[in-house]
Every structure is written in structure tokens, then in C-alpha cells.
Structure 1
Amino acid sequence: MIDRVIWIVLDSVGMGEMPDAEKFGDVGANTIGNISKAVGGLSIPNMVRLGLGNIENIKGVDKCEAPIGCYARFEEASNGKDTTTGHWEMGGVVSKVAFPTYPNGFPSEVIEKFEKLTGRRVIGNKPASGTAILDEIAEEQMKDGSVIVYTSADSVFQIAAHEEVVPLDELYRMCKIAREMLDGENAVARVIARPFVGTPGKFTRTPNRRDFSLIPPYDTVLNKIKNKGLDVIGVGKIEDIFCGQGITEAVHTKDNMDGVDKTLEYIKQDNKGLIFTNLVDFDMKWGHRNDFKAYAKGLEEFDVRLKEIVDAMKDNDVLFITADHGCDPTMPGTDHSREHVPFLAYGKSLKENVDLGTRNSFADMGQTLADILNVEKIQNGESFLKEIHI
């Protein structure tokens, strides 16, 4: 009997372009493969032992003769390549209609309404790299107490302000105002608080980021698990992505290693159900900033900690490791990439060396999770539990 699943999302760790990558401008994207090539190879023996290098069409990772895990490559059925569509689809929500994006900035009526409701002037209002826009206009923001509003190729309304000029509580309040007003045709997937500190030439974003997502349109596997009286513990930005829906307990994290630490703390506790962790540094700190060397180091650092996770697992635990999209730091631009994602599963109650091939929806993970914990089925996805369970 399996009592608990530990589900870790390596945010943006894609493994190669999807068949429709051309529509998204992502031909040639391969986050793991291109990083490995750029740094001359990755040292990630623990993920290799679980079967990462045995996944169909993966590049740049060693193959294992006898992997101890189950492994697969997943396509995204949703129309998108971002955090919300990826995680929601894992939970069972397939988003066929893309969330709105703003390649020319937000309409004047949106900005004017936001300014009126918040009492703060808006500067920026364009797609931009989060660090580049600070270098460009953060000094102006500090001088007059305005706020920086910007977007990206994703469906996001991002609000940046210096923590010493706009207190965090007020920044979060403004995000909630934006979340409430951005509906209908302007219902962006996420409103994101982007606080920063520092002085001109030395601005840095802080760990106090918060995401304010839409509420999923129908119940995800998280709701199903919670409804059965089991634990659903969100580590990192999981609580924000699902707008608190289906969560019984949550903790935010400062960085990847803090996320691993918090996950290990929960593994060592007596809980049953789901521990759901997002490790965001791959995406936020390295993917979007085209820092392939730091990305490679981050993968290797996680791999070292993976042994601790496996060693801490109880006999009735199962581990899932996957990603939500790509963000190839070797590609031109700084946006997410439309990629397949890897999937690894391990546990004493699972078979070894099971190749699940390529599956056509992230929702298969959520349906399998529902099957494992014997909760109500979710709306989309096909369970593969029979293929991996002993």
C-alpha cells in the first residue's frame, strides 16, 4: 500500500522541443541537452540511476544499464508553455485556450484602472527581462514611488517595487487589486509581486516574490486528495499556482536548497497524501537569465540532494520527479520554451526499469496519483499505475 507521494517539479527543466514548437518560436530548444552540450556534460548520477538517461530521445545524459526507477517523456496537451498551464495540467486541468499575452504591453484602460485603484503611477508597461528592466528604470521607481509593471511572453502581470519604497504588504495588496480587476479577456494566468532591493547598478530581486494565480476552472487532483482527508502539502510556489485550492498546508521557500530542506522536513514527519514541491531557481534565476553554467551547477546540486530524499523515504512512499515546461538558457531570448518534460518515479512498491515511452498529457501524472492514493478520478489523463506497480 502506498501512503504518500513526494512530487518534485524541477521548474523549466525541459528535454527537447515538442512537435508544435515552431508555433511557439522554440525550434531547437532542449533545456537539458543544450546545457549538457554547452558545459561539456552533466554529472547527475542519482537521476541517471533512476533512469533519466534512458528516457526516449533525451540528449546529453548518460544511460543506465539497470535503472531502479520508472521513466517517461511527456507532451503538454495545453496551449501554453508556462508555470500555470504546466502545473494545472499535472493536476488534471487541460487549458485548450491560451491565456492572454501582451507583446506590446497592457492596454491603456488596464493601466489607468490599476493606477486609479492603487494610487500609484505605473512605469514600464512592456515585455522585459525582470533584471534588465530594473537596470533601466528602477532608479526612477525609487525616486517617485511609482511601480514598475511589465510582462513577458507568458501570461503575466508583474509588479516590481523597491522594498524600502513600497512595503511588501502594500505590494501584495496591489497584486490582489490587479488580480481582481484582470478578468474576462484580460484574465492573465498570474499576477506576480517582484520586490527588489539595492542601489543603481546593484539591484537584486528578493525571495519575497508572490504569485497570484487564477483559480483552476474545476477540481484538480489536489482537491480530490484533500477531500478524502489526506494531506496536501505545498512547498515553494505550489500554493500560489493553485490559488490555495486543494492545499492543506504550505510553506514558501527562499531558493532550491531551502525547497529541498523543507521537503525533507515534511518527509520525516508523519503525514499521508501528497508533498508537492516546486524548485523555481532553474527557471527564475538561470533559465530566464540565460545562465547555462549556473543552471548546470543547479542540476548537479539537486542531484546530490536527491540521494538524501531517496534515503529519507519510507517503504510506502513514492517519488515523482518532473518539470512543467522548458526554459533553454542557450537559446536566443529569455522566455520559456515549448518542450517535452522528463518524468521519473521511484519507490519500494514500484517496479524497476519501466520505460513508459512518450505520453501525450501531463494529466497522466495526476490521474496516476489519484489511482495511487485511491481518490476520485480527475477530469483528464490516463493512469499508468498498473504498468509501474509491483
Structure 2
Amino acid sequence: MRALLIVLDGVGIGAAPDADAYGDAGSDTLGHVLRATGVALPTLGALGLDRLRGLDAPAAALHGRMRERSAGKDSTTGHWEIAGIELDQPFAVFDRFPGDLVAAIESEAGIRFIGNRPASGTAIIEELGEEHLRTGRPILYTSADSVLQIAAHEDIIPVDRLYAICEVARRHADAHRIGRVIARPFAGGPGAFRRTPRRHDYSMAPPRSVLDAIAESGLPVISVGKVADLFAGQGIAASHPTADNADGMGRTDAIWRDTRDGLVFVNLLDFDTVFGHRRDVAGFAQALADFDAWLASFIPRVAPDDLLIVTADHGCDPTHPGTDHTREEVPLLILHRGRAGPLGTRDGFGDVAATIARHLGVPWPSGRSAI
């Protein structure tokens, strides 16, 4: 038995009931992008996305929404809950990292930072990139999410050295309950700095998840994209980092062809990182269309006894004020044994973990299977 779980990072489907508490009332990533651009998504629409958007249309798959139970709206929280981990306490967020934390990282890593404030990743390297080139000091910044991000030019601080600095930061960040430390290498010159694909995420080690349960049963969990980073490699047999969505879809094609059992867990990041945070509505729409076209070509390779789940981890509405994630419900589309019909609004992302566990015959104590 094999399962494929695809997370469209940041593709929310409308404000969650508690969105106002996060400053996200009225957010609707998918709805706003589709209404603004008119982009057609015939494959997703036919599976059930059109029904989820309130259209009177047929649906060829099981379809519903999921409402996050954990506090927060970041990728780690969303992916962890998808894998059956519910957080009672959100990860910590900062406008400025505490002096003791910064000093501890600087002392052990042998560096001094510039920055230490909330910022868009592209904006901060434009603002501080020249100072970084002149001084050799890495750029420290954060966002509304629980992330400690360190940016450095690849010609000034080689990528392996940046990764080593981030590993030091990860050790010290645990005590401050910071969800992720992220290495953000960049290249280019003043006025034309650009982030490179060699980003690397360092997550807190998670509690036991359904990934561990699958691995303990003797079945492999294969990750594509940043999934392994978000789970600190825990429960994952093989990891395939990706440069962008196209790379992720191509790797999924190849891995699925060679997979006979277990779980392939995919994150497609561009919706969030490249388009959502940068408020690029047209780019977001094109990324959705590209995925929809790829999915149409991929579905014939999904056998009746396979399980395919397409969902998301949070919203990242490019029309909403600001540049941060948005607290939204997420779509849930499931292909399994030709079944079709509504799944309603699921109380928690953990129903995905329960569904995968049931399909693979793995014991799992929480969530409600959708199959």
C-alpha cells in the first residue's frame, strides 16, 4: 500500500473562525487569487475544489475543508498537525531576538550579526546587503512567524559555513521555543541581490508523529521539498530537497514511479515563498495553473488502491495587508478507490494523519480518518 501527500504551501481557502485574532479577518488566498486573475484550475476543480468554493459543480473525489486546532499559522505548526501533532502552545515570535540568545550564538559561532528585526527576506538583503559585503557580518532577521533567519552572500560566507552557523543557532533557539532557524544564502550585487535555492530549514525536533508510526511499522517515509527540515528528519527514510515547484513535481514523478509502499510526503513551496510573501497575485495564479496541469498528467498513475491527498498548511493571501501568513482553513482533496463526496469541515488537520494511518494499516491514536 502506498500513499502520496501533497501540501500546497500557503494555499488557504478562506479565513478560519479565529482569523480576526491573528489580524487575518477576510483573508482567502485561493478565492482572492482566482477572482483577481480568472485563472482556470480544471483538474482541481473537477476533483472537488469548485464545490468547496461554493460552485454548483460535480466532484470526482472526496472533498472538504480542514480547520487548524493548533495555535499559530506557520509552516511547522501546520505540517506537524497534518502529521498528528497538535500544539497547545504556539511557537514564540519576536520583534527583536533577546540579547542573551544573540550573544550565545555569536560567541559559539564566532560571528557578529547585523539586523535583528522583522523584515521581508528580499527587502532586508537589499537594505543591509552592502553592509554585509563590507563587514562580512551575517544578517539576522525574523517575521511574524516563529523563525530566526540568517542571510549571507555565498561569496562572503560559503553555504556550508552558513549552515554551520544555523546549526549553532538551532541549539540555542530551542530554549526560546523558536520553531525554525532558516539559512538564507543569496548572491548578486547591490541593486540586484537574489536569494539562491540553497535555503535550509532547521526545525525543533517534533514529538512523535504519524511519520514515526509509519517508520516503526517497517514502511518508508520519503520526503520531497522542505518536509524533512520541518520534522528535523524524524521518521523520514529519505529526503529530496527541491529548488522550486517544478523540481518538486518532477522529483515526485520519479519517486512515485519507484515507490511500492509507504508514504511520499511532498511540500510545494513556491506558492508561499515566491508569490504569497511577495504579494505576487499573477505569479501565484500561474503556479496554481502549473500544478493543476501537472496533476492532470499525474492522476492516471494513481492506482485505485493508492491514496492521494492534496491539502495545505495555512494561507498566504497575496491580497491581504502585510507580507505574512494568514490564518485560514485549507482544502482537503482525496483520491481513493474511486470514492467521491463531501467530507465537510474537519476539526483539525490531524484527520490527514488518521487517514494515512488507516490506509497503510498503521495504528495511530488521534484524528478521524476520511476513508
TM-score, normalising length: structure 2? 0.98
User: Would you say 1:64 and 2:61 are equivalent positions?
Assistant: no
Which secondary structure does the structure 2 equivalent of 1:95 belong to? coil
CA offset at residue 351 of structure 1?
1.0
Aligned equivalent of 1:54, options 51, 73, 81:
51
Deviation at 1:70, TM superposition (A): 0.5
1:238 corresponds in structure 2 to 227
Distance 1:358 1:316 in 2: 25
Measure, in 1, the Cα distance between the counterparts of 2:273 and 2:205.
23
Shift of 1:119: 1.4
Q: Give the secondary structure class of the aligned counterpart of 1:183.
A: helix
Q: 1:7 aligns with which of 5, 8, 31?
A: 5
Q: How many residues are treated as equivalent by the alignment?
A: 371
Compute the displacement of 1:316 (Å): 2.5
Structure 1 position 369 matched with structure 2 position 369: no
Contact 1:196-1:203 within 8 A present in 2 as well:
yes
Match of 2:335 among 335, 340, 346: 346
Q: Is the 8 A contact 2:2 2:259 kept in 1?
A: no
Tell whether the 8 Å contact from 1:30 to 1:328 is kept in structure 2 after alignment.
yes
Q: 2:19 aligns with which of 21, 31, 36?
A: 21
**Which residue is equivalent to 1:285?**
274
The superposition leaves residues 141-161 of structure 1 with CA deviations (integer Å, 9 ceiling, x where unpaired) of 111110001000000000000
Aligned to 1:331: 320
**Correspondence for 2:183 among 184, 187, 193:** 193
Provide the identity percentage. Answer: 45
Question: For each residue in 1:232-281, what CA deviation from the matched residue of structure 2 results, as whole angstroms up to 9, or x when unmatched?
Answer: 10000011011101101110001001100000101111430101100000
In structure 1, what is the equivalent of residue 127 of structure 2? 136
Give the distance between the partners of 1:301 and 1:182, measured in 2 at CA. 37
Q: Secondary structure of the equivalent of 1:211?
A: strand
SS of 2:121's equivalent? coil
How far apart, in 1, do the equivalents of 2:233 and 2:293 lie? Answer: 31
Give 2:76's match in structure 1, choosing from 70, 84, 90: 84
In 2: Cα distance, 1:94 partner to 1:42 partner: 35
2:291 to 302, 309, 334: 302
Deviation at 1:172, TM superposition (A): 0.5
Secondary structure of the 1:212 match is strand
Q: CA deviation at 1:312?
A: 2.0
Measure, in 1, the Cα distance between the counterparts of 2:123 and 2:46: 39
1:175 aligns with 2:160: no
Q: Among 313, 320, 325, which residue is 2:309 paired with?
A: 320
Structure 1 unmatched runs, 5+ = 386-390
* Cα distance between partner residues in 2 of 1:28 and 1:181: 37
3-state SS in 2 of match to 1:149: strand
For residue 178 of structure 1, give the secondary structure of its aligned residue in structure 2. Answer: helix
Counterpart of 2:196 in structure 1 is 206
CA spacing shift, 1:163–1:24, aligned 2, 3 Å: same
Pairs within 5 Å for 1:116-127: 116-127=107-118
Paired residues of 1:289 and 1:329 also in contact (CA < 8 A): yes
Residue 64 of structure 1 deviates from its aligned partner by 2.6
Partner amino acid, structure 1, of 2:302: M
Distance 2:259 2:115 in 1: 48
Deviation at 1:63, TM superposition (A): 4.6
Amino acid at match of 1:201: G
Amino acid at match of 2:17: P
The answer (yes or no) to whether the contact 2:73–2:327 under 8 Å persists in 1 is yes
Cα distance change, pair 270–20 in 1 and its aligned pair in 2 (3 A): closer
- Other-structure match for 1:109: 100
Partner of 1:273: 262
TM score, norm. by length of structure 1: 0.93
CA distance in 2 between counterparts of 1:249 and 1:367 reads 22
1:161 aligns with 2:152: yes
Q: How far did residue 384 of structure 1 move?
A: 2.3
C-alpha change, 1:384 and 1:315, in structure 2 (3 Å) is: closer
Q: CA RMSD in A?
A: 1.1
**Superposed structure 1 runs of 4+ greater than 3 Å apart:** none
Q: Per-residue deviation at 1:176?
A: 0.5
Q: Give the match's secondary structure for 1:358.
A: strand
Offset of 1:100 from its aligned partner? 0.4
SS in 1 for 2:258: coil
Shift of 1:96: 1.3
Q: Is the 8 A contact 1:18 1:75 kept in 2?
A: yes
CA distance in 1, matches of 2:189, 2:301: 43
SS in 2 for 1:193: strand
Residue 388 of structure 1 is matched in structure 2 by none
